[in-house]
Amino acid sequence: MKPNSENKFPLYLSVVIPVFNEQENLETLYSRLKPTLENLKTSYEIIFIDDGSMDKSWIILEEIKKKDNSVKTFQFNRNYGQHTAILAGFELSKGEVIVTIDADLQNPPEEIPKLLKEIENGHDVVGGWRKNRRDPFFRKFISQMGNKVLARITGIKLKDYGCMLRAYKREVVERICEVNEFSSFFIPALAYTYSNNLIEIVVDHNQRQEGKSKYNLLKLAKLNFDILTSFSLIPIQLITLLGGFIALFGGLFGLILILIKVFFNASSGILSLISILSVFTGILTFFLGLIGEYIGRIYLEVRRRPRYIITNSKE
């Protein structure tokens, strides 16, 4: 690793770890992460961001901090979300290179040197690719389909959107921190946008041994929807296109009903009309909801509320 004396940063490496109800994993994570970083023979810091945990995570982090001055711990007043916690870690970090990793131990901390090697090879962002994911089949299937849809619509070509084992050069992190968006924040997609030389490498992925995943199907769907509406206008453009088709279809259908009535004196069928009207009403309601989602994001932006509030810190 590059010696700290050769660069202008206080430290070479900052490891940012978002934490939410991970009391079962924190001690094990630290006991594996610490020797991994020591073997790098470079300067480093470990930043834990407690994202409003409701278990004993903060108490455990305080104990870890007491025995290691390289550890810094920060506690949010409530849960703001994984990516907001990572953003806070970015803003609080001092390293030339910043590595992010989840606290659930599904991505081994022993993989960090592989990321740093690619950084030394000239890449400014190194993403982990969980090629052999150890998750339930249904979750893997949903993630794979979501990745393909997001790549197609947003133009962000990532093999793995959800892996948080990633390394970033300081200049990319600074660009991300300068983003003024408040309503949504998806770190890997922003890194893709601001990177000059991104690479994804295969990393190990383990089954979760302790605790429960914080992403259920509903949260995964919301996350993917956030990415979709934050990085692309295609959904709202499709509304305009489909709205035109619906109007055209409705006009043609109305004309056919008139012709049938005039030339055949046949009943149009009230049930058929109700059925078709229900379908169109459902489609229009969905479109209005999507438009409302964009308007709601604008509303959140103009309020300019703080992205997060730190209530406790140990540096």
Q: What angle do CA 57, 69, 1 make, to 5 degrees?
A: 105
The pLDDT of residue 35: 97
Q: Is there a contact between 24 and 11 (Cβ–Cβ < 8 Å)?
A: no
The pLDDT of residue 112: 97
Q: Is there a contact between 157 and 182 (Cβ–Cβ < 8 Å)?
A: no
The pLDDT of residue 166: 95
Confidence of residue 213 (pLDDT cuts 50, 70, 90): low
Strands in 71-76's sheet, in edge-to-edge order, are 198-202, 125-129, 166-169, 95-100, 11-19, 44-50, 71-76, 310-314
Q: What does the block give as tokens for 236?
A: 């709202």
What pLDDT digit, counting tens, does each position of 139-162 carry? 667 666 766 666 676 667 788 878
What is the mean predicted confidence (pLDDT) over 189-211?
A: 86
CA distances 244 to 112, 114, 238, 293, 313, Å, are: 51, 51, 10, 21, 55
What is this structure's pTM?
Answer: 0.74
What pLDDT digit, counting tens, does each position of 259-287 carry? 766 776 666 566 566 666 766 776 777 77
What is the mean predicted confidence (pLDDT) over 167-189?
A: 85
Residue 291: other Cβ atoms inside 10 A: 13
Second-level CATH architecture of 4-232+308-314: Alpha-Beta Complex (3.90)
Which helix (DSSP H) or strand (DSSP E) does residue 72 occupy? strand 71-76
Q: What angle do CA 312, 314, 315 make, to 5 degrees?
A: 135
Residue 266: partners with Cβ closer than 8 Å, 6 or more residues away: 260
214 or 102, which is more confident? Answer: 102
